[in-house]
Amino acid sequence: MNHFAWSPSRRERSDACQGRYCEAIVARDELQAVVADELELVRLGLAAVLGPLGVGVCGECRSGREAADLAAFMLPDLVIVGAVTDGSTLDCLRRVREVRPVPRTIGLFGRAGDPDAAVASSLGVDGLALRTGAIDDLAGVIELVLKDETVVVRELHAGLVGDLQLATTDREQSLLSAREREMLGFLAQGRTNREIAATLSLSLATVKSHLVHLYAKLEVSNRNEALARAVALGLLG
């Protein structure tokens, strides 16, 4: 297997915001990721999750500026952003999303219901997960994002919609029926189909039918995509 190594110039090192570049070892026959987090232990953990999924780490860093620079230089398939030294996770995601071509991105937030998740979703971030979440959950998010799906872990659903108030402009009224807006609200609360059915005294089949119609109107295939699409359209605020 051929490899090549890349190390930053002295100027690039001096530009790093209280962080560092690692030496990037790139295996050319596998997917590549850049991981950004202030803690080396977290970066090592991310590499351990990525490896079994066939994804190598081509670069790691501590700051948002470094993450964007590495993404622009290495052109990775994926960038995963946790806590960084020079701003918030959201700030770093903004920088990475400005790179062209835009890489797939996953944001790792520190707490359930983080309102920054809503902004990240509106920026087009592909995956939203908890920085302290279970390894299996993170692996599942990564797998789906690499399949070009949009994924939001359940713990961050509430953050997508703030106080869960549904928008009601004329445009939004024409897009979704009252029942479909109600279903969207339940999805934002993280309710299961069975819980929705029990709350509305409907059969499980009826709930599934309403959701199918909702997904069709939003042009999505699952509840995570529906929430991300709804936020992007301004249907949840």
pLDDT in tens, 121-137: 878 899 999 999 899 99
Contact 161, 188 (CB under 8 A): yes
| CA 79/CA 36 separation, integer angstroms | 8
Structure tokens at 204: 């499980």
Q: Using pLDDT thresholds of 50, 70 and 90, give the confidence band for residue 191.
A: confident
CA atoms within 13 A on the CB side of 158: 8
Query: What mean pLDDT comes out for the span 11-23?
Result: 39
**Out of 10-24, 36-50, 127-141, 213-227, which region has the weakest mean confidence (pLDDT)?**
10-24
Q: What is the pLDDT of residues 111-168, one digit of tens each?
A: 887 878 878 887 889 999 999 989 999 999 999 999 988 888 888 876 665 434 444 4
Task: Tell me how far apart the alpha carbons of residues 81 and 83 are, in angstroms, rounded to a whole number.
Answer: 7
What are the chain's domains? 3-159 (3.40.50.2300), 163-233 (1.10.10.10)
Rounded to 5 degrees, what are φ and ψ at 123?
-80, -10
Q: What is the mean pLDDT of the chain?
A: 80
Q: Please report the pLDDT score of residue 18 as a whole number.
A: 36
- 4-32 mean pLDDT: 45
Report how far residue 70's alpha carbon sits from residue 58's, in angstroms, rounded to the nearest whole number.
9
More confident of the two residues 233 and 105: 105
Residue 13: is its pLDDT beyond 90? no
Q: pLDDT by residue (tens digit) across 60-77?
A: 999 999 999 999 999 999
pTM assigned to the model: 0.64
Q: Beta-carbon neighbour count of residue 51 at 10 Å?
A: 12
How large is the average pLDDT for residues 2-22? Answer: 37
For residue 12, is pLDDT > 50? no
Both tokens assigned to 18: 């209280």
The answer to whether 75 and 101 are in contact (CB under 8 A) is yes
> Which residue in 113, 112, 69, 115 sits closest to 88, CA to CA?
115
Tokens of 10: 């002295």
Q: Does residue 203 surpass a pLDDT of 90?
A: no
- Say which residue, 203 or 1, is predicted with more confidence: 203
pLDDT at 143: 94
Q: Which has the closest alpha carbon to 37: 60, 18, 69?
A: 60
